[in-house]
Amino acid sequence: MRQLRYNGEELRRIRNSEGIELAAIAEITRISKRYLEYIEGDKYSYLPAIPYLKGYLEQYAICLKLDPDEVSICYLGYFMEWLNHRTCTKSALEPREDVEMVRKPLGLKTGAETT
């Protein structure tokens, strides 16, 4: 049995082979065409929170007559790999140069200073 890899490119290929327009899926599912484009383009940084994304993937899979659980689990696996890589890279842990870090005192007063 062939294990499918449901990434955005594969989902687009399947949709195109079925002759289904992305606008039609957007209309049927009421998912923004922009989010569907992000899914097909594997543009993970533009995708919504995981609970919403899971629902979008399941609805998209149903339109393509695919197993919704299999599609969402597989795609979310790719998403989590990207997320883990993104958060664990050295550059993600280094301070950003474009943001000035300023430490300000909290301004808490002790009991003696409140009078």
Structure tokens at 38: 């992000």
56-108 residue pLDDT tens:
999 999 999 999 999 999 999 999 988 888 776 655 555 555 555 555 555 66
Buried b (16+ CB within 10 A) or exposed e, 80-91: eeeeeeeeeeee
Q: What is the per-residue pLDDT for 98? A: 54
Closest residue by Cα to residue 61 from 84, 97, 53:
53
pLDDT at 2 over 50: no
In this structure, what are the phi and psi dihedrals at residue 95, rounded to the nearest 5 degrees? Answer: -65, 145
12-38 residue pLDDT tens:
999 999 999 999 999 999 999 999 999
Q: What is the per-residue pLDDT for 90? A: 52
Which CATH architecture does the domain made up of 8-92 adopt? Orthogonal Bundle (1.10)
Helix axes 68-88, 50-63, angle to 10 degrees: 140
Q: What is the per-residue pLDDT for 75? A: 94
Rounded Cα gap, residues 78 and 18, in angstroms: 24
